[in-house]
Structure 1
Amino acid sequence: MYNHYDFRPPNNQPASASACNTCPCQSNCFFLTWVCLWLPIAILLAIVLKWHPPQPLGNKKLPLVASLYLIVPLILWAATQIENTTFERWGWDWQPATLTSLMLGLALAIASLTVLFGLQLTAGWIGWQSSEYTTATGETIAHPQASILNYSTLLTLLLALWISGTEELIFRGFLQTTLQQDYSTVIAAAIASLIFAIAHLIWEAKETLPQLPGLWLMGMVLTLARTADNGSLGLAIGLHAGWIWGITTLDTAKAINPTDKVPEYITGIAAKPLAGVAGILLLLATAAILGSFKF
């Protein structure tokens, strides 16, 4: 078991058998291989979907994201063979404790979002958009939960778990562990979080730019989650998935709207929590909670 702050292999673990055994080489090889394998698939998909930059992605984003993330396990499996290492070293394991940590992360994420939006609703900074439905008698009734409690919520959760699991394995698992061969935990986390944030520009650069500081801080908090979980990715995956699930569900349902009582940089530029002061405070509060965790 790795200690709380060091995800590097213990001294008795065999060194990598690969010639590519330096931190920059390993990470560069991974990302270069990833891009080279994905680009032909992405180009073919773009042709089939009749999409090209700078058109908005809209509902064409999911097939492109899926094609990008589906090849990750194959590349990382190849890396374990070449580098004589294991997925467990990167924090990915199938122990019962990992599932417990994942569920705890989900609960913490949903609780944090409930507090975030609950306080803003109470303060009148945002408003709740109720859905309406018509009864058998023709009466129209507003139902505050109808917009978010539906069958698509479960599908969104499954998608969030897949995306967060893939991203955590890459950035808090493989990349963080690799960077710690040459850097301290904090420096490695800062670099991995910066790459994590910048990588989001590939999809919707204009919307993502204001979120870059928040995405970087989110990466740091998720690294802290791995640290708090004794090197396992379970807690980080749960947190990440819960945030994706909650925010995506609310955003898709258009359930929450700013009231313009405060500047949008408070609630989030373009209604994106990570681009606002409130979202940053949420991340800092989560970090404080994680700092008190004892596993």
Structure 2
Amino acid sequence: MWNSITNLRLLSPSIPAIVKIILFFSTWVVLWLPAAIVVARALKWHPPQPLGNKKLPLLASLYLIVPFILWATTWIENTSFASWGWDWQPAVLMSLLRGLGIGTIGLVILFGVQLTAGWIELKTSEISSETGEKIINFWALIFNPASLLTLLLGLWISATEELIFRGCLQTILQQDYSVLIAAAIASLIFAIAHLIWEATETLPQLPGLWLMGMVLTLARIADSGSLGLAIGIHAAWIWGITTIDTAQAIKPTSSVPEWITGIAAKPLAGAAGILLLLATAAVLFLIQISVNQR
């Protein structure tokens, strides 16, 4: 076994990037399947039953393997996590916090514009004792124990996915392809990988997920190769959308077609969500110009 891994390291420079990616995911799946079967049996779940709240334990079993797979990949590739954009420097933390701000502000604008336009409405609101008008308590919705736990979960998921897709895959693919082509391939894999959980709900979101991957690649470029900014933006999106979705706080008013607000109430499956991604890309492009001018 060890000899095979050593030989793989020696052969690595001559192996096409696409083959490396196939080997990466094949190894990941093979190592995960035993754990997945055990978890699925413990949860009394089997395909094609809907996952519901059983998704998180399966996701955790999948992502807990990632550090070992990535460490092995760095050894085979004779590289380091730092070359993929991950290190423990204070600058990365600052970029992460900035990304959280960019992602959160983007979501506030996205839902705020739709609420103002009457495309969506909040299910949960309070009535003002003075005016009798509905008051939306965003702070109570976002800053509560369940939401903060979702934020921590979002940080873990986003850090894992960014290290895989914008870090490892992007860097490996750039061995054979330009940055743009590598990003397009990595983003396509990123989008398709989401089909493993909820294929029916994910299909309309595939274009949005692909574009999301491209935007997060731009975040890494704008952050001088660091993953901090991409992790922060990604975590903010997971946090905000999951919090709202879990609380079932928003519903469409049917004043506009579903493809505008998002098919099945999924922002990435609608024009409004796509515009958010494009607006975020524009902000990141301006950040990149600012960095280049320093």
TM-score by length of 1: 0.89
Asked whether the equivalents of residues 86 and 226 of structure 2 are also in contact (C-alpha less than 8 Å), the reply is: yes
Q: Distance in 2 between matches of 1:19 and 1:109?
A: 41
Shift of 1:142: 7.8
The CA deviation at 1:242 is 0.4
For residue 207 of structure 1, report the CA deviation from its aligned partner. 0.2
In structure 2, which of residues 7, 11, 27 is the aligned counterpart of residue 33 of structure 1? 27
Q: 2:202 aligns with which of 201, 208, 216?
A: 208
Q: Where in structure 2 are the equivalents of 1:139-288 lying within 5 Å?
A: 144-145=137-138, 146-288=140-282
| Deviation of 1:238 (Å) | 0.4
1:58 counterpart residue number: 52
CA distance in 1, matches of 2:30, 2:173: 22
Give 1:24 shift. Answer: 2.0
Paired position in structure 1 for 2:10: 18
| Residue 45 of structure 1: aligned partner | 39
Partner of 1:7: none
Q: Which runs of 5+ in 2 are unaligned?
A: 1-7, 128-133
Q: Distance in 1 between matches of 2:10 and 2:241?
A: 42
The whole-number CA distance in structure 2 between the counterparts of 1:274 and 1:143 is 24
- Structure 1 position 54, deviation (Å): 1.0
CA deviation string 1:19-74 (max 9, x = no partner):
13321232122111100000111111111110011111011100000000010011
Q: Which amino acid counterpart does residue 190 of structure 2 have in structure 1? A: F
Contact 1:196–1:216 (CA<8 Å) still a contact in 2? yes
Q: Which amino acid aligns with 2:82?
A: E
**How high is the TM-score relative to the length of structure 2?**
0.89
CA contact (8 A) 2:122 2:136 kept: no
Per-residue deviation, residues 175-205 of structure 1 (Å, max 9, x unmatched): 0000000000000000000000000000000
How far the C-alpha of 1:148 sits from its partner, in A, is: 3.9
Q: Which residue number in structure 1 is paired with residue 131 of structure 2?
A: none
CA RMSD of aligned residues (A): 1.6
Percent identity, aligned pairs only, is 71
- Determine the structure 1 residue equivalent to 2:285: 291
d(CA) in 2 for partners of 1:39 and 1:199?
15
Which consecutive residues of structure 1, in runs of 5 or more, have no partner in the other structure?
1-15, 134-140
Q: Which has the higher helix share?
A: 2
CA spacing shift, 1:78–1:93, aligned 2, 3 Å: same
CA distance in 1, matches of 2:107, 2:168: 28
- Rounded to whole Å, the distance in 2 between the matches of 1:278 and 1:157 is 23
Shift in Å at residue 239 of structure 1?
A: 0.4
SS in 2 for 1:18: helix
Aligned residues: 273
State whether structure 2 residue 86 is matched by structure 1 residue 92: yes
CA contact (8 A) 2:9 2:75 kept: no
Shift of 1:130: 1.5
